[in-house]
């Protein structure tokens, strides 16, 4: 029994160390949320944000038919979700549709890997964090951003559709931001696909049975979401949807 407890503690410690970068804030981020600072410093910070936006706009200018794929960094290459993301990236790459991800490991790596192996364009928006997240090795082009919100702009700015694989808080944040932009008309009719029925169905059931019932959302807000386990069904849904149609 003591051995089992010790093994469990060691495993938890390894997990905590492996994903420690998800929790600490950098000094810059802490300062950002401290509140008002002197005007010259605010101006300098605004300039840094502008510079980072400009860097992204210049680097990704001209990207077309881009699909952004979101998902967890935690899945290894033998996991079923990793293999699904790799297959989706490959199908998109074969159709010369650019694949964009957050540029890191897990689902992001899998999607970029599939696209690159198929001869498609593979792009990443990496993030600078206290425990450095290296960009995955399957990127034709990438930028490492300092600010999460600038990175999120780039992940959506050039996309014509979104594929959301299973993930954690970050993935949920990206998913709900996308459906909010669609709901409020900030982006028009963007197709959104959720891959993994077992993973996503409890969330969809909650949105329908609780939020829609209480009137905090409309049921029509859920109509644009496709939940599937099939990469081919996902791609066909994207290709038949606006604004993916290019004719």
- Residues with Cβ within 8 Å of 135's Cβ and at least 6 positions away in sequence, in order, are 103, 104, 124, 126, 142, 144
90 or 8, which is more confident?
90
Q: What is the CATH number of the domain that holds 225?
A: 3.40.50.450
Tens of pLDDT along 37-92?
Answer: 777 888 888 999 999 999 999 999 988 889 999 999 999 999 999 999 999 999 99
**208 is in which domain, residue-wise?**
51-240
Average pLDDT over residues 85-109: 96
Other CB atoms within 10 Å distance of the CB of residue 143: 21
Q: Does residue 222 lie within any of the structural domains?
A: yes
Q: Does residue 9 lie within any of the structural domains?
A: no
And the tokens for 196? 């993994």
Average pLDDT over residues 224-233: 94
Q: Does residue 38 lie within any of the structural domains?
A: no
Backbone φ and ψ of 239, nearest 5°: -70, -25
CA distance 18 to 134: 13
Strands 159-164 and 141-145: unpaired
- Residues with Cβ within 8 Å of 192's Cβ and at least 6 positions away in sequence, in order, are 161, 162, 163, 164, 175, 178, 179, 182, 224, 225, 226
Other CB atoms within 10 Å distance of the CB of residue 173: 14
Number of domains in the chain: 1
pTM of the model: 0.81
CA distance 50 to 54: 6
Q: Does residue 96 lie within any of the structural domains?
A: yes
Q: Does residue 192 lie within any of the structural domains?
A: yes
The position carrying tokens 């038949």 is 240
Strand order, beta sheet including 66-70: 141-145, 122-127, 98-101, 66-70, 159-164, 192-195, 225-228
Lowest mean pLDDT among 9-23, 154-168, 178-192, 206-220: 9-23
If pLDDT is split at 50, 70 and 90, which confidence band does 185 have?
confident
Lowest mean pLDDT among 7-16, 18-27, 36-45, 108-117: 7-16
- Residues with Cβ within 8 Å of 113's Cβ and at least 6 positions away in sequence, in order, are 86, 89, 122, 136, 138
Q: What is the 3-state secondary structure (H, E, C) of 220-241?
A: HHHCCEEEECCHHHHHHHHHHC
Q: Does residue 210 lie within any of the structural domains?
A: yes
Q: Does residue 19 lie within any of the structural domains?
A: no
CA distance 39 to 123: 36
Q: Does residue 223 lie within any of the structural domains?
A: yes
If pLDDT is split at 50, 70 and 90, which confidence band does 129 have?
confident
Other CB atoms within 10 Å distance of the CB of residue 76: 11
């Amino acid at each position: 029994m003591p051995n089992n407890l010790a093994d469990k503690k060691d495993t938890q410690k390894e997990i905590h160390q492996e994903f420690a970068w998800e929790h600490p804030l950098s000094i810059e981020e802490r300062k950002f949320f401290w509140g008002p600072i002197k005007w010259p410093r605010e101006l300098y910070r605004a300039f840094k944000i502008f510079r980072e936006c400009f860097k992204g706009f210049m680097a990704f200018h001209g990207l077309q038919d881009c699909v952004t794929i979101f998902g967890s960094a935690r899945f290894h290459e033998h996991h079923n979700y990793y293999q699904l993301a790799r297959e989706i990236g490959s199908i998109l790459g074969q159709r010369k549709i650019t694949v964009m991800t957050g540029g890191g490991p897990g689902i992001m790596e899998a999607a970029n890997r599939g696209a690159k192996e198929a001869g498609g364009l593979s792009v990443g928006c990496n993030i600078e964090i206290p425990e450095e997240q290296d960009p995955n090795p399957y990127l034709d082009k990438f930028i490492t951003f300092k600010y999460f919100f600038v990175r999120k702009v780039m992940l959506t700015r050039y996309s014509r559709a979104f594929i959301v694989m299973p993930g954690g808080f970050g993935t949920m944040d990206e998913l709900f931001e996308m459906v909010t932009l669609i709901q409020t008309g900030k982006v028009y009719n963007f197709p959104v696909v959720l891959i993994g029925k077992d993973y996503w169905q409890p969330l969809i059931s909650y949105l329908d049975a609780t939020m829609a019932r209480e009137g905090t959302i409309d049921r029509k807000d859920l109509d644009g979401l496709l939940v599937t386990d099939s990469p081919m069904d996902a791609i066909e849904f994207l290709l038949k949807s606006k604004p993916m149609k290019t004719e």
